[in-house]
Amino acid sequence: MSLRIEPRREPSRAMVWLTPILAVALTIASGWLLFLVLGLDPAETLYQFLVAPIETFYGWTELGVKAAPLILIATGLAIGFRANVWNIGAEGQLIMGAVAAGAVALGFWGEEGWWILPAMCVAGALGGLAYAAIPAFLKTRFDVSEILTSLMLTYVASLALSILVFGPWKDPDGFNFPQTRMFTDAALLPVLIEGTRLHLGALVALLAAIGAWFLVGRTVVGFQIQVVGQAPAAARFAGFSGKRVVWFCLLLSGALAGLAGTFEAAGPIGQLIPQLTPGYGFTAIIVAFLGRLHPLGIVAAGLVMALSYIGGENAQVSAGLPQAATGVFQGMLLFYLLAADVLVRYRLRWTSAQAAPAPKPATVP
């Protein structure tokens, strides 16, 4: 007997959408075993991780705060993934967007004006877009893998931010801490619900997901993106420019990542600091695949991943959970999702080894 992996004739559409739920369930089951090994009460720890953070209305608003950058970034990434354009450097584009927005906020520090925040948003989007233009140029001009270039540029962006907050942009009244001045009120996002931190960026993220759904499903550009991703030869035959699609996808995802960085700096943080993001740019990749590259599915996936951040912080305080547990949960979720995707597209089959036919006897002429 031997085990063979055979491709299915056509993947089940129902299973494509059920596997994310299965991946979440397997992650929770694995978390139970992990907490047991760590000597924690699995039931209590999972309760603090998954339920306690959203027992109150304030908890739900915090979920929106955490989910906003994930949804915004993952929406842009998913459009590129549909066209096989793999932007892995959204983290760096987020940072450069925040730096560009911070330059506007600090340049007009102390001034009041309704135009400061819109100018920050434009600068942040352009900052992320410009940073994504580097791998787009290298891909279309020299056929350099955008996976490597976008990923490596992330570390450059992180170091650039550190140079600024440790150097020329350091707050002179900040007791030598590596941080900029706190932004003025004119450079902060308005709060949607009084008494919470839920800001305007959450609404923008939701509108961006709806806009992406319309772009992919109702426009010629969206049709070109899908054709280039699914049938490159047919796209060339139809006259669709693959290079133009690469530019469009990378610039769009970079702009949305830069806007997410702007919302983080002008929202819950209110300044630039070295630890501007806990890894939203990388986590958004999981969000995109967990949402099946569908903008509306990404909204639900963003809320799930946001809960992992809030739940991890809550469980650290209440149950003594290690800080690395959040990353472990996110990693297990991606692992189970990819494993389930393999079974959606392939099936395992046991086959019996057939005996080789006996050689025919030689004949004498």
pLDDT digit string (tens) for 56-69? Answer: 999 999 999 999 99
Query: What pLDDT score was predicted for residue 359?
Result: 56
User: What pairs with residue 348 in β-bridges?
Assistant: 5
29/324: higher pLDDT: 29
Query: Burial of 210 by CB count in 10 Å (0-12 exposed, 13-18 middle, 19+ buried)?
Result: middle
The pTM of the whole model exceeds 0.85: yes
Task: Name the residue among 284, 286, 132, 131 with its Cα closest to residue 208.
Answer: 284
pLDDT tens digits, 316-340: 888 888 888 888 988 999 999 988 8
Cβ-count burial of 139 within 10 angstroms (0-12 exposed, 13-18 middle, 19+ buried)? Answer: buried
Distance CA 85, CA 281 (A): 16
Phi-psi region of 109 (alpha: psi -120 to 50; beta: other; left: phi over 0): beta
Say if residue 5's pLDDT is above 90. no
Asked whether 5 and 19 are in contact (CB, 8 A), the reply is: no
Please state the length of the chain. Answer: 365
Q: Pick from 218, 223, 247, 253: which is nearest to 235 by CA?
A: 223
The Cα–Cα gap between 351 and 58 comes to 56
| Residue 249: partners with Cβ closer than 8 Å, 6 or more residues away | 79, 80, 83, 85, 87, 225
Residue 171, helix vs strand vs coil: coil
Whole-Å CA distances, 361 to 65, 357, 358: 79, 12, 9
Instruction: Give one DSSP letter per residue of 61-114, joined into a string.
Output: HHHHHHHHHHHHHHHHHHHHHHTT-----HHHHHHHHHHHHHHHHHHTTT---T
pLDDT per position as a tens digit, 179-221: 999 999 999 999 999 999 999 999 999 999 999 999 999 999 9
Tell me how far apart the alpha carbons of residues 250 and 252 are, in angstroms, rounded to a whole number: 5
Q: What is the mean pLDDT of the chain?
A: 92
Is residue 208 a contact partner of residue 299, using CB atoms and an 8 Å limit?
no
Would you state the pLDDT for residue 9? 82
Region 276-304 average pLDDT:
94
Tokens 């830069």 label which residue?
Answer: 258
Neighbouring C-beta atoms of residue 217, cutoff 10 Å: 12
One-letter amino acid for residue 174 of the chain: G
Q: Say if residue 353 is exposed, middle or buried (CB neighbours under 10 Å; 0-12, 13-18, 19+).
A: exposed
User: Residue 2: in which H helix or E strand, if any?
Assistant: strand 2-7
Q: Print the SS3 string covering 277-302.
A: CCCHHHHHHHHHHHCCCCHHHHHHHH
pLDDT at 186: 94
pLDDT in tens, 67-121: 999 999 999 999 999 999 999 999 999 999 999 999 999 999 988 899 999 999 9
The answer, yes or no, to whether residue 151 has pLDDT greater than 90, is yes
pLDDT reported for residue 224: 95
Is residue 364 pLDDT above 60, yes or no? Answer: no
Residues whose CB falls within 8 Å of the CB of residue 85, separated by 6 or more in sequence, listed in order: 146, 245, 246, 249, 250
CB burial of 36-55 (b: ≥16 within 10 Å; e: otherwise) equals: eeeebeeeebbbbbbebbbe
Residue-level pLDDT at 348: 79
Q: Which helix (H) or strand (E) holds 46?
A: helix 42-46
Quick one: average pLDDT of 126-131? 98
